[in-house]
Amino acid sequence: MAIARDDRWLADAQGRALPGAQVYWCTQPASTTDNPPSPLATIYSDIGGADPITQPVLTDGFGHAFAYMDDSILYTVVFWHPLFGSSPVVLIDQSIGGGGSGGSTFTPFAGSLIGTIDGTNKTFVLANGATPLAVLPSQLAVLFNGVYQYPGLGYSGPTLVSGQATIVFAVAPQPAAGGNPADAVYSQGLYVA
């Protein structure tokens, strides 16, 4: 077992740090509807892996939390904060360090989302450059005008629709108008090759 560090930052929709959030690392499959989620992974305070720490880890004044853990498996990371009410932010299939998924190869992707920005369309296709993503990502970050969006809050999905990984925004991106530029939508992440 190799040990690697995982760093997490948590911010609200305006990009402000969320201190005091509870961060949990779970093995998969994880039950995330209760606080605490389960099953909790063993996490450590340093790369030596000699000092296990108790979960949750609380985010600091910059919304930052970290822990060290086995880098050979995928994790589900769960954030609880009063701002989220009874709905935590849940990130499944998180790779720590350079390992993960028992030898699977993770491939990075990034690109502007494919779809019509007309003020009514909310459905967009994830892309690697200009090529639609044909598989569901293992790790996904979605940005709307440079602000990270949370799954279940800023967007839903991803799902495969006609062989393309698709998300649906909560609010339709707006076209250029009145001298203002069109909204910019972007995504990046990893998928298993």
Beta bridge pairs of residue 4: 69
Q: What does the alpha-carbon distance between residue 94 and residue 9 come to, in Å, rounded to a whole number?
A: 14
Collapse the DSSP code of 154 into the 3-class scheme (helix H, G, I; strand E, B; otherwise coil) and give the result.
Answer: coil
Where do we find the tokens 């720590």? 96
Q: What is the pLDDT of residue 101?
A: 43
Domains and CATH numbers, the chain: 3-103 (2.60.40), 106-192 (no CATH)
Query: Structure pTM?
Result: 0.53
Measured in degrees and rounded to the nearest 5, phi and psi for residue 182 equal -65, 155
If we measure between CA atoms, which residue out of 167, 171, 161 comes closest to residue 186?
A: 167
Q: What does the alpha-carbon distance between residue 60 and residue 52 come to, in Å, rounded to a whole number?
A: 19
Q: What is the pLDDT along the chain (193 residues), one digit of tens a residue?
A: 688 889 998 888 788 889 999 999 999 989 998 999 999 999 999 888 888 999 999 999 989 999 999 988 899 999 999 988 888 999 998 988 754 444 456 678 888 999 999 999 999 999 998 999 999 988 888 999 988 898 888 999 999 999 999 999 999 999 999 999 999 999 988 887 6
Q: Which residues contact 153 (CB under 8 A, 6 or more apart)?
A: 13, 89, 170
Collapse the DSSP code of 175 into the 3-class scheme (helix H, G, I; strand E, B; otherwise coil) and give the result.
Answer: coil
